[in-house]
């Protein structure tokens, strides 16, 4: 399984109504799980079998996001402000320059500033302040 296939599977899972998924393919085992919010009325459990054709069709579709994904370089707690009662570093729709601070990820009491990898506009912020983020998780997208 290539990294691109794995990212495609993750994007499909994130946009689905599934809360948990396990996939064994080419000697690689992947388990994905989402937190179900209390306002959602149902939890869906399902087995998914993805064929090579499905992956290839998804990779070639126009629906694949062309934005730059800003990923978490470590596991920690995401913060969108430099401190309590201070404005957010960035908001969706805001222009940023390469090197601008986008957020902070706290790990082991160390505050790690995450900088913009390029000039652009913040399209989507995928996490909320104080959310736990995983290594290489997409926290926001920049066009």
Up-side HSE of residue 80: CA atoms within 13 Å toward CB? 14
What's the rounded Cα separation, in Å, for the pair 36 and 44?
10
Same domain, 53 and 76: no
Same domain, 79 and 122: yes
Of 55, 16, 8, the residue nearest 34 (C-alpha): 16
Give the pLDDT of residue 35. 67
Same domain, 19 and 52: yes
Same domain, 86 and 44: no
Q: Per-residue pLDDT tens for 87-111?
A: 999 999 999 999 999 999 999 989 9
Expressed as residue numbers, the domain containing 54 is 3-60
* Total domains in the fold of the chain: 2
Same domain, 55 and 75: no
Give the pLDDT of residue 65. 53
Pair 107, 76: CB distance under 8 Å = yes
Burial class (CB in 10 A: 0-12, 13-18, 19+), 9: buried
Give the pLDDT of residue 43. 39
Residue 77, domain CATH = 2.40.50.100
Give the pLDDT of residue 81. 95
Name residue, tokens 């495609």.
8
Same domain, 54 and 85: no
Give the pLDDT of residue 103. 96
Q: Angle at Cα 47 formed by Cα 26 and Cα 44, nearest 5°?
A: 140
Furthest C-alpha separation in the chain: 50
Tens of pLDDT, residue by residue, the chain (143 residues) = 677 777 777 777 777 777 788 877 767 777 888 765 444 444 344 444 444 554 555 444 444 457 889 999 999 999 999 998 999 999 999 999 999 999 999 999 899 999 999 999 999 999 999 999 999 999 999 98
Same domain, 74 and 121: yes
Boundary residue ending a domain (60, 89, 106): 60
Q: Which two tokens stand for residue 21?
A: 């998924």
Boundary residue ending a domain (60, 84, 99): 60
Name residue, tokens 């959310």.
131
Question: In angstroms, how far is CA 132 from the centroid of its own chain?
Answer: 11
């Amino acid at each position: 399984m290539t990294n691109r296939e794995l990212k495609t599977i993750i994007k499909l899972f994130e946009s689905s109504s599934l809360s948990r998924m396990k996939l064994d393919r080419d000697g690689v085992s992947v388990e994905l799980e989402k937190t179900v919010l209390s306002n959602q009325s149902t939890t869906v459990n399902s087995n998914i079998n993805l064929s090579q054709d499905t992956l290839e069709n998804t990779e070639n579709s126009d629906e694949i996001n062309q934005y730059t994904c800003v990923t978490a370089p470590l596991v920690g707690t995401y913060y969108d402000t430099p401190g309590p009662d201070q404005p957010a570093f960035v908001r969706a729709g805001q222009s940023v320059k390469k090197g601008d601070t986008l957020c902070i990820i706290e790990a082991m009491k160390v505050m790690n500033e995450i900088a913009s990898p390029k000039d652009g506009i913040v399209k989507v912020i995928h996490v909320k302040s104080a959310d736990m983020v995983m290594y290489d998780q997409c926290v926001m997208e920049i066009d």
